[in-house]
Structure 1
Amino acid sequence: MDSTEACSIARRMVDSILTWYSPDKMRWHYEDGLFLFSTFAVGLHEEDDLLLRRVQATYDTLVNPDGTISSYRMDDYNLDQINAGRLLFDLYGRFGDERYQKAVTLLADQLLYQPRTLGGGYWHKRIYPRQIWLDGLYMAQPFRCRFALDRGDATILADVVRQMVAIESRSRDASTGLLYHAWDESLQQLWANQGTGCSPHFWGRAMGWYCMALVDVLDYLPSDVPGRKELVDIVERTADAVLKWQDGCCLWYQILDQGRRADNYLETSCSAMFSYFLLKACRLGLLVEDRYRNAGIAAFEALVELKTSTDANGLLHLHDICSVAGLGGTPYRDGSYSYYVGEPVATDDFKGVGPFILAALEFPD
C-alpha cells in the first residue's frame, strides 16, 4: 500500500460515514470532534472546499454567532468537552468567522478554573475528583498548545509539558513499559492501587489517547520550550513499549499485555491510534529507526485487511471498536479485566474511525 491508496481509503471512510451523519446529528462531544477533525484534515489534504464547508456547517449547528456552544456546560469541568473545540482554530483560520474565536475563549476559560491535583494535573471531570485519566491528556493538551501559540503564552506551554511528563511518570509500569489507564491521587477509589494510585490494567485506548497527545503536542510545541526534550524521550520509550506488545498480526489487544487470554480481543481504536502515533512520530523526526515506521505501516494495513468491510452499497465499515470504557461512576466500573473485555464492541464508532482516518493521512510516500 502507498500513501495514495491509504488516503483514498480515508476518503472512502469519510464519505461512508457522511451518508448518515448529517450536520444536525452533531453533539458537542469528543467523539464527534475527533471524527470532524479527521474529516477536516481529509478536506485540507484534498483541497476539497465542499467537504470543509460541510464540516463548518456541522459545527455551526452548535456554535452560535455569539460564541456560546449549545449543550456545553462549563461547570461540569469535563475535559472531554474540550476536544471538540480543537477544530475551532482551523475553522477560524479557514473561514474567519469570529464565533470560533469566541468559542475558543469560552473553552479556554474552563481550563483556567479546571480543578487540579496537588501536583498540578487536571482532574478528568468534576465528578471524578483528584483523578487523572490518560484520555484527558488528548482531550485538553493539544487544544491548550494551539491556544497558547495563538496568544503567545509561554506559561501555558510550560504547563502542558509538565502535565504530560508528570502523568507518564505516575502511570508507567517499569517492567512492561505500558501506562495504566488512570491515577487516583486520593487513593479512595476502589480501583486504585493503594501503593501507586494506578488503576489495575493497561487499557489499549487509554494509552492510545496519550500517544496521540504526545505527537500532537510536539507537532505544535516550539523547539525552545523547556522540557520538550523530556517529551521526545517519552515518545521513544513509549514507542518501544508499543512495539513490544504488538501482536503477530500487527494489531494490539484491548488489554495490551494479556494477549490471547479468554475474551481479550484485537481492538481497532487503539491499533489505529498506535499506527497514527508511530507514523506521525516518524514524519516529525521524533523516531528515526525504520522499525517504528514499518510497525505503523503494518498496523494500518492489518486494520484494512482484518477490521474493515464493504457492504452491498459500497460503503466502508470499521469493526471491533470498544464502545466505551471508564472507571468509577454509577454503576461502578472497577477497572477489572472482566470489565474491560466485557464492554460492548461497535462498528463505525468515531473513537476508531477518527484515528483510522488520521493514520491513513500519515501514511508515508
Structure 2
Amino acid sequence: MTKNIFILLLFPFQLLFAQIDILSNFPKGYTPEEVGERLAYRFETEYILQNRKWVSYSDIFTWSGAIQYAAVTKDKKLAKLLQSKFDSLFTVKKNLLPTMRHVDWNMFGSLPLTLYQKTKKKKYLELGLPYADTQWEVPENGKPAEKEWADKGYSWQTRLWIDDMYMITIVQTQAYKVTKDRKYIDRAAKEMVLYLDELQRPNGLFYHAPDVPFYWGRGNGWMAAGMTELLRNLPENHPDRQRIMQGYHTMMKSLLDYQTSSGMWNQLIDQPDCWAETSGSAMFTFAFIVGVKNGWLDAEVYGPAARKAWMALVSYINDKGAVREVCVGTNKKNSKQYYYDRPRNTGDYHGQAPYLWCTVALLEK
C-alpha cells in the first residue's frame, strides 16, 4: 500500500521530467550543440567591424548569444575569439561605439555587461554600466515628451513601440545582474508594466504601437523575449512580478493558439495567408523553452509546441549557417500591406540572434 502511494506521488514528477525531456534528444543536425556551433562560429568569422556607422542592436544580440553559447558549451576557443573581437572597440574601433541617445543604441551596454559576467574584467563593467544609467538621465537638449516620461519615473527613451521591451529591459536587467542594485530591475519592471497596460490586447498579443494596430511577428517577439528575460531575473517577491507573469501567460496562450501546423508563426501573427517569419518564431520558441524549464508553463502542453517550433526553425538554416526568411529591420507604419511586403533576408542578425538564444536555453540545466 505504501509503495503504491509512493508511485502515485512520484508519477506527476516523472511526467514533468518526461515533458521537459522532449526539449532534448534531438536528431542529428537538430541538436542545439550543432546549430549553436554553426551560427556562433559563422558570426565570429563573418562579422567584420568595418564599413559601419556603429555596432547595431542586431549585431549586439547575436554577439551576446554567441558568447552565452560559448559559455554553456565551455568552448574556450570561441569565447576567446569573441572577446578579442570586442576588445578592438576599446582601441582602433572605438568610433563604432553607439552614442547613448536612443533606445536602440543604449542597449549596447548589455553586451559588455554580459562579457563582465563571464570574465569579471572591470573594463567591461565600466563600459556597459553608463548605457544603463543614461537611459534614465534626460540629456540637456531633451525633448518635452522625453522629460515628461522621466518625470513619471520612466525612461526618457520611452516611445511605446513593442521593440523597446527588449531594448530597455535587457540592458537594465544585465546591470542588475552585475551590480545587484535593485534600481535597475525596478526600472525594467516599471517600464514593462507600462507597455503591458498600453499595448497588450485582450487576445494576449501586442500592437506594434498605439497607432499601428497590427500584430507584427518580430515586434511581438521582442516583447515575448523581454518578458522572459525579465521574469527569470525578477525577484520572486517583486511587487510587479505577478502583473508581468500575467501578461506573459496571456501572451503565451495566444501564441500557442496561433502557432501554425508547420510549427512556425507568421509575419503578421493572426493572418493565416501571411508568410512564415523566422526571427519572431525563434523569439517565441525561446519564450516557450524558458517557460517550460522554469515551470511557468505547462510542460505537457508547451514542451511539444516548443520542440515542434525548434524542429521547424532548424529547417530554415542553409548550408552556410544562415537563417532564411528574416524580416528586415522595420519601422512602424499604419498599413497592413506594409508588413506583408517587407523584404526577407538570409543571414540577417535579427534572425541569427534568437536562434542562438534558443540553443542556449535548450542547453541550460
TM-score after normalising by structure 1:
0.82
- Cα deviation for residue 14 of structure 1 reads 1.9
Contact 1:177 / 1:238 at 8 angstroms: preserved in 2? yes
Contact 1:33 / 1:85 at 8 angstroms: preserved in 2? no
**1:293–1:63 Cα change, 3 Å:** farther
Does residue 61 (structure 1) correspond to residue 88 (structure 2)? The answer is yes
**1:69–1:47 Cα change, 3 Å:** farther
**1:151–1:6 Cα change, 3 Å:** closer
Contact 1:208 / 1:270 at 8 angstroms: preserved in 2? yes
Distance 2:134 2:186 in 1: 18
Does residue 19 (structure 1) correspond to residue 45 (structure 2)? The answer is yes
Equivalent pairs: percent with the same residue?
23
- Cα deviation for residue 119 of structure 1 reads 5.4
Residue of 157, 160, 185 corresponding to 1:132? 160
Contact 1:203 / 1:254 at 8 angstroms: preserved in 2? yes
What is the aligned partner in structure 1 of residue 321 from structure 2?
A: 316
- Cα deviation for residue 97 of structure 1 reads 3.1
Aligned residues: 328
What is the aligned partner in structure 1 of residue 189 from structure 2?
A: 161
Question: Comparing 108-117 with 240-249, which one deviates more in the overlay?
Answer: 108-117
Contact 2:323 / 2:351 at 8 angstroms: preserved in 1? yes
Contact 1:63 / 1:70 at 8 angstroms: preserved in 2? no
**1:121–1:243 Cα change, 3 Å:** farther
Give the counterpart letter for 1:147 in structure 2.
Answer: A
What is the aligned partner in structure 2 of residue 213 from structure 1?
A: 226
Give the counterpart letter for 1:42 in structure 2.
Answer: Y
- What are the residue-to-residue correspondences of 1:68-217 with 2, within 5 Å? 70-74=96-100, 77-114=101-138, 115=146, 117=149, 120-122=153-155, 124=157, 131-174=159-202, 176-183=203-210, 192=211, 199-217=212-230
- Cα deviation for residue 6 of structure 1 reads 2.2
Q: C-alpha offsets along residues 191-239 of structure 1, whole Å, 9 cap, x if unaligned?
A: x2xxxxxx12110101100110111111211222222122222221110
Give the counterpart letter for 1:159 in structure 2.
Answer: R
Structure 2 gap segments, 5+ residues each:
1-23, 139-145
Does residue 251 (structure 1) correspond to residue 256 (structure 2)? The answer is no
Distance 1:280 1:152 in 2: 22
Distance 2:267 2:284 in 1: 13
Distance 2:287 2:330 in 1: 21
Residue of 245, 248, 255 corresponding to 1:242? 255
Question: Comparing 39-48 with 228-237, which one deviates more in the overlay?
Answer: 228-237
Give the counterpart letter for 2:258 in structure 1.
Answer: W
Give the counterpart letter for 2:32 in structure 1.
Answer: A
- Cα deviation for residue 112 of structure 1 reads 2.2
Higher helix share: 2
Q: C-alpha offsets along residues 322-349 of structure 1, whole Å, 9 cap, x if unaligned?
A: 011112xxxxxx3311111212110011
Contact 1:44 / 1:52 at 8 angstroms: preserved in 2? yes
Residue of 311, 314, 321 corresponding to 1:304? 314
Contact 1:297 / 1:363 at 8 angstroms: preserved in 2? no
Q: Which runs of 4+ in 1 moved over 6 A?
A: none
Give the counterpart letter for 1:361 in structure 2.
Answer: V
**1:105–1:289 Cα change, 3 Å:** closer
Contact 1:282 / 1:293 at 8 angstroms: preserved in 2? yes
What is the aligned partner in structure 2 of residue 330 from structure 1?
A: none
Contact 1:180 / 1:201 at 8 angstroms: preserved in 2? yes
Distance 2:256 2:344 in 1: 24
Contact 2:172 / 2:187 at 8 angstroms: preserved in 1? no
What is the aligned partner in structure 1 of residue 288 from structure 2?
A: 278
CA RMSD of aligned residues (A): 2.4
Structure 1 gap segments, 5+ residues each:
125-129, 184-191, 193-198, 328-333
Q: C-alpha offsets along residues 341-363 of structure 1, whole Å, 9 cap, x if unaligned?
A: 21211001111111012112323
- Cα deviation for residue 39 of structure 1 reads 0.5
Distance 1:323 1:357 in 2: 18
- Cα deviation for residue 96 of structure 1 reads 3.5
SS in 2 for 1:133: coil
Does residue 6 (structure 1) correspond to residue 15 (structure 2)? The answer is no
Distance 2:227 2:91 in 1: 31
Q: C-alpha offsets along residues 235-293 of structure 1, whole Å, 9 cap, x if unaligned?
A: 21110011111111110110111111xxx210010000000010011112221342112
Q: C-alpha offsets along residues 76-127 of structure 1, whole Å, 9 cap, x if unaligned?
A: x311113332121232233343321211232123212253637554455xxx
Is the radius of gyration larger for structure 1 or structure 2? Answer: 2
What is the aligned partner in structure 2 of residue 195 from structure 1?
A: none
Distance 1:150 1:15 in 2: 27
Give the counterpart letter for 1:227 in structure 2.
Answer: D
**1:342–1:89 Cα change, 3 Å:** same
Residue of 51, 56, 61 corresponding to 2:78? 51
Contact 2:136 / 2:156 at 8 angstroms: preserved in 1? no
What is the aligned partner in structure 2 of residue 331 from structure 1?
A: none
SS in 2 for 1:62: helix
What is the aligned partner in structure 1 of residue 57 from structure 2?
A: 30
Give the counterpart letter for 1:54 in structure 2.
Answer: L
